[in-house]
Amino acid sequence: MTNTNNNNMTFKKLCQLFCCPPWPGSITAKLAFMPPPPSYDFRRIESTEDRYAMVLKDGAHWIHSQSDLQKLEGFFVRTRRGNKIACLYVKCTSKPRFIVLFSHGNAVDLGLCSGYYIWLGTNLKCDILSYDYSGYGISGGSPYESNLYLDIAAVWRTLKLRYNASPENIILYGYSIGTVPTIRLAAKERVAGVVIHSGLMSGLRVAFPHMTTTLCCDPFPSVERVRKIRSPTLVIHGTDDEIIDFSHGLGLHDRCPAAVEPLWVDGGGHNDLEFRTVFLERLKRFLSDEVDRSAAAPSGDDFRLIFCCKV
């Protein structure tokens, strides 16, 4: 989500958002999306048609070695609406236990997240596939809620076709606004596991944390969709989250029938949980215990898991 003080979202301002212009997609864009200037570009790799090297710009803050850039492979996919979406596959280990489809949060793009992906994937011994939403980075189109769902659907299809990924080797992880497409997909697909990191129950509940009813015009209604998830689900939230109130993490956890023991980071904010030791410890335990235990249980359904990114 945006780094906006909730106290500034008065009833008058909310009415203005809903009345001018009177289109839900425009409302959602004003409330939620803040794409930064692109921090990267793609350069076609010689003798290939659809593989690109990532070229980072000065603001990307790359902290790894130049050789680590070889771990990044870019490509494009098309959504059913025709938007051209930039994707990044991060090869972190020779024998990954899972492939992580990472849907990142607001105010970042693939270039800004690329170093984080290498750090996270290396520590979890997973490869990561991430993508920029429509209107973010060098992806085409505009950032709307409906495009958010089409974007992840296109990447989900490509993950299975391009990388021949087996459902039981895919993990779905959503961070902040990235939890919105993650939860929607997890509600439809039986997956190995789901991670909801600093997620929101709905758009209006971010502005009004004490709301208890989901209105028909409420964008990002994850609080209703999370009830349909059947896969092991880890909810992570900071108790002092300054952007998405801690009550959102509690609400999503309480309503998810497949929720495992959550991680409530005492004193944690919205963008600093990965700096806590308990963050990696809990993720590793989730993958090795709850996810593996679920995968070993007899079931007639497929398991599919995707991992998504940060605000």
What residues are labeled active site?
176, 241, 270
- Locus of tokens 């958002």: 17
Alpha-carbon gap, residue 149 to 240, rounded angstroms: 29
Residue 307: CA atoms inside 13 Å, Cβ hemisphere, count? 22
* 185 Cβ neighbours under 8 A, 6+ residues apart: 149, 152, 153, 156, 172, 306
Alpha-carbon gap, residue 119 to 128, rounded angstroms: 11
Q: Is 116 left (phi over 0), alpha (psi -120 to 50) or beta?
A: alpha
Alpha-carbon gap, residue 80 to 99, rounded angstroms: 24
In degrees, to the nearest 5, what angle opens at C-alpha 18 toward C-alphas 16 and 20?
60
Alpha helices in the chain (DSSP H): 11-19, 24-32, 110-124, 145-162, 179-188, 203-207, 222-225, 246-255, 277-285, 292-296
Strands 84-90 and 72-78: antiparallel
Strands 84-90 and 127-131: antiparallel
- Whether the CA torsion 115, 120, 123, 124 is positive or negative: it is negative
What does the block give as tokens for 116? 């984080």
